[in-house]
Amino acid sequence: MDSLGGSHGHYKERNGYKVQIYLFRHGETDWNKARRLQGQSDIPLNAYGRELAHKTAEALQSVPFDKAFSSPLSRAKETAQIILGKRNIPLTTDERLLEINFGDCEGQCFDTAKQNPNHPLHHFFCAPQSYLPPEGGETFHGAINRGNAFLQEQILPLEGCCETILIVAHGAFNRCILNAISNTPLEDFWKTALPNCAASILSLHHGKFTIETESKVYYGTPVNGRP
C-alpha cells in the first residue's frame, strides 16, 4: 500500500506547536447495525450513533480544535458537528473524505458477500489485494489516492499554524489513510478494528504523518469494529 508516513512517535516542534490530528469514524447508523454496506449512500446517524457522538464530545470538550473537516455525508458531518459542540470554528466538508464507492452493490449485506466467493464484493472483505470493484465502484488505490491528496493539500499547509485538527470520515476510507501511513499491505487491510466513533490520533512532523493511537473510543464497549 502507498506510504504516507514515517516512524511512530514524532511530534511537531516548529514554532512551539505539536500537531495532533483526530481522525474519527462517524457514529452508528441503521445500516451499520444491520451490517449493510453504505459506501457513498447518505445514511444518517441513528439515535445510538448520536449518543456515541455526544459521549465522545463530552470526553473531548477540553481539546482545543483549531480546524475541522468532514466528509459531506450526513453521518460524518453530524458526528463532527456534535464533537465540535460550541467551539467557534467552521466545519469544512471535502468530497475527498467520502467513503469508498461500492457502485451497484451499495446497500448489500456484508455477510452475504463474505460467504459467497462469487459475490462481487467477496474479495473486498476476504482478499482485498485481489478486489476489483463492481460497476460504478472504486478501487482501494483510488480511495488511497484521494485521501493522500486531501492530506497533502488541506492538512500539510496547516503545519506551523495549527495545534489540533478534527477529521470525521468513514470506516473503510479511514483504514485507507491509516494503512497507507503504516505501509500496511492490502491483504492486511482489515487487521485493525475501527468501531463507530473511534478516533485514530495522528501526528504531523516535518511533512510526515505518523500514528500515535488507533481505534480509541470514549464511550464504553466498541460497536461495529469490523464488517
- Active-site hit among 26, 119, 170, 205: 26
- Active-site hit among 99, 106, 138, 205: 99
Assess whether 138 carries a catalytic annotation. Answer: no
* b (16+ CB within 10 A) / e for 110-128: beebbeeeebbbbbbbeeb
Assess whether 26 carries a catalytic annotation. Answer: yes
Neighbours of 83 (CB within 10 A): 29
Given a contact cutoff of 8 angstroms between Cβ atoms, the answer to whether 35 and 227 are in contact is yes
Q: What residues are annotated to the active site?
A: 26, 99
